[in-house]
Amino acid sequence: MYRKLASSTFLKNFSWLALGQIFYRVAYFVTIALLARIVPLNDYGLASYFLLYVGLWAPLFNFGLGIVGVREIAQGNISAEDFISKVISLKILVVVLAGVLLMVSGIFFEYSGDQLILLFCFSVYAILISLAEFFHIPFIGIEKMHITARLIIVERAVISILAILLLIVFSDIWGFAFGYILGGIISVIISYKVFRRAFSFSLRIDNSILKFFIRESWPVALNMFFSLSYNRIGVVFLENMKSRDVVAYYNSAFFVLFALQMGVSTLMQAIFPKLSRAQKNKNSIGKSAFKVFKIIFPILFLSTLILFYFSDSLILVFYGEELKSSIPILRVLIWVFPLFTISTFWANYFRAGGNQRLMAVISGSGMLFNIAGSVLLINAAGAVGLAKAYVISEFLIVIMCFLLFISHQRDREITFSVIAYLAIMFLIIGGSLFYSYIGLSLTVFCLITIGILVVISLIGIKNADVKFIKNLIV
C-alpha cells in the first residue's frame, strides 16, 4: 500500500514541488535577511517596500495565463507545444505593458532619482521572472512537476547567489538589485532551453486562441491582483502615513508569512490539474471537497498557533534585535496564513469549474474593505493596525467563498457546518488578539486552543471522504 501511494502522480508532484518551493522560499528569505543585516535600515525599508510594490503588479505580468494555461492543458483542450507557440506573443505583450504601467505608476506617485531607478530595476526583474515561469506552465499542465521543481531550484539558486554576492561586494541595495536582474536573465535562458529539449516550438499567431485566453485570463488576473493588493496597497499607505522604518518592521514580519505560504502554493499547484479534469468530467466533488477541508482546518490552525507562540524567536533569530519591533506585527499577521490557505483552496475549486469571474468579484470586495480598513487602522495602531486590516479582509474573503459554496450546494447540513467553522475561526483569531485582556497568559490561551482543535480534528477525520482523497493522490 505504501509503495502504491509513494508511486502516485500526486505524491511525486507534491514532493517535487514542495522541494522546489521550500528552496525558493528559504533562499528568498535568507537573501532578504542578509539585506536587512548589511544595508542601513532606511535602505532596507526602501528595497523591501519596492519589492512588495512590484509584487502588487505581479498578476498583470502573469495575466492569469498560468492558471488558465494549466487548466486547458490538463483538460486536453490545447497541447503544451501549441500553448507556448500560440500564446507567447500575448505573454510578451502583457509583460511589456505591465512594466510600462509600473513605471508610469511610479511617476504618478512622484518617485524620483534613486527611487525611480530602483523601481525600474525590480520592474525588469519582474518581467524576466514572469517570462521564465511561462515556460514552466506546460510541465505543470501535463503533471511533470519534477521538471518544474528542478527549474525553480536552479533558477532561484542562481538569483540568490548573484544577489547575495553582489550585495556583499557592493554593500548596498544596488548590488542586490543588479544581482536580481542578472539572475533573471539567466533564468529565462535556462527555462527556454529546458522547454525546447522537451517540446517543439515555432511561433504562430492564432487569433481564436488569443481571444480565448484573453477572455478567460483577465478575470483571473483581476482576482489575483485583488488578492495580492491586500498587503501591498496597505504598505503604500503605511509608507506615506508613517515612516520607512515602520515599513521595514512590517515587511520583516510579512516576509516570514511569505515564506510560510510555500505549502499552500505547492499543494494547490499539485491538485489543480486533477481538480480541472474532475470539473470537466462533471464529477460532483463539492461535498467531498468540504470534507477534505474539515481535515485541513485543524492542521492549519494548530501549525499557525505554534508559529504564533514562537513569533519572537522567529524575528530575533532571522533579523536580530534591531527589528524586534516586528514581533507584535507578526503575532497578528501570522493569522493570515490559515485564512489565506482556506480562501485559496476554495478559489482553486471555483476556478477549476470556470467561475473565475465570481472569484474576481469576491476578491475585489475584500480589497475595497482592506483599503478602508488600512487607512483607519494605520492611523490608530500603525503597522499592527495594517496587519489587523489584512487579517480582517482575508476573513471576509473566506466568508464570501463559503457563501458562494453553500449557494451552489444547497445542503442544510453543510450550511450549519459552515456557520460552525466560521464561528470557531472567529473565536480563535479574536482570542489571539485579546487573550491578555481577559487575564489569560499566552501559554494558557494556546493550550485551550489546542484542546479545541483536537476535538475538531477527531470530528473531521471521522467524517472524511477517504475515497475522494484517494482519487486525488493516486
User: Buried (b) or exposed (e) across 3-14, using 16+ Cβ within 10 A?
Assistant: eeeeeeebebbb
Check pLDDT > 50 for residue 364. yes
Cell of 433: 488578539
Chain segment 371-410, per-residue pLDDT in tens = 888 888 888 778 888 888 888 888 888 888 888 777 766 6
What's the number of CA atoms in the CB half-sphere (13 Å) around residue 19? 14
Q: Could you give the CA distance from residue 219 to residue 196 in angstroms, rounded to a whole number?
A: 30
Cell of 280: 470537466
Chain segment 167-181, per-residue pLDDT in tens = 888 888 888 889 889
Chain segment 244-274, per-residue pLDDT in tens = 677 778 877 887 777 676 666 666 666 666 6
Q: Taking residues 56-78, what's their average pLDDT?
A: 79
Give me the pLDDT at residue 2, please: 31
CA trace torsion 115, 251, 379, 53 (10° rounding): 40
Q: Taking residues 407-431, what's their average pLDDT?
A: 76
Q: Are the C-beta atoms of residues 330 and 314 closer than 8 Å to each other?
A: yes
* CB within 8 Å of 15: residues ≥ 6 apart: none
Which of 148-162, 199-213, 337-351, 453-467: highest mean pLDDT? 148-162
Q: Taking residues 32-40, what's their average pLDDT?
A: 80
Cα 339 to its chain centre, rounded Å, is 12
Q: Could you give the CA distance from residue 179 to residue 173 in angstroms, rounded to a whole number?
A: 10
Check pLDDT > 80 for residue 90. yes
Which of 159-173, 201-215, 261-275: highest mean pLDDT? 159-173
Please tell me whether residue 321 adopts helix, strand or coil conformation: helix
Please tell me whether residue 219 adopts helix, strand or coil conformation: helix
Cell of 236: 503604500
Q: Where are the domains of the chain?
A: 2-473
CA trace torsion 417, 422, 423, 426 (10° rounding): 160
Confidence of residue 3 (pLDDT cuts 50, 70, 90): very low
Q: Please give the DSSP secondary-structure letter assigned to residue 435.
A: G
CA trace torsion 139, 142, 144, 145 (10° rounding): 60
Q: Could you give the CA distance from residue 132 to residue 427 in angstroms, rounded to a whole number?
A: 43
Q: How many CB atoms lie within 10 A of CB 171?
A: 12
Chain segment 219-250, per-residue pLDDT in tens = 777 777 776 666 567 776 776 666 667 777 88
Q: Which of 158-167, 230-239, 273-282 has the lowest mean pLDDT?
A: 273-282
Give me the pLDDT at residue 189, please: 92
Give me the pLDDT at residue 462, please: 53
Give me the pLDDT at residue 5, please: 35
Give me the pLDDT at residue 353, please: 65
- Return mean pLDDT, the chain: 77
Give me the pLDDT at residue 267, please: 65
Check pLDDT > 60 for residue 280. no
pTM greater than 0.75: no
* CB within 8 Å of 137: residues ≥ 6 apart: 65, 66, 69, 70, 73, 83, 84
Beta-strand ranges (E) seen in 30-150 are: none
Q: Taking residues 76-88, what's their average pLDDT?
A: 83
Give me the pLDDT at residue 182, please: 92
Check pLDDT > 60 for residue 1. no
Check pLDDT > 80 for residue 473. no
Give me the pLDDT at residue 4, please: 40
Q: Taking residues 439-468, what's their average pLDDT?
A: 66
Q: Could you give the CA distance from residue 216 to residue 355 in angstroms, rounded to a whole number?
A: 10
**Of all residues in the chain, what percent carry a pLDDT higher than 70?**
77
Give me the pLDDT at residue 6, please: 36
Q: Please give the DSSP secondary-structure letter assigned to residue 39.
A: S
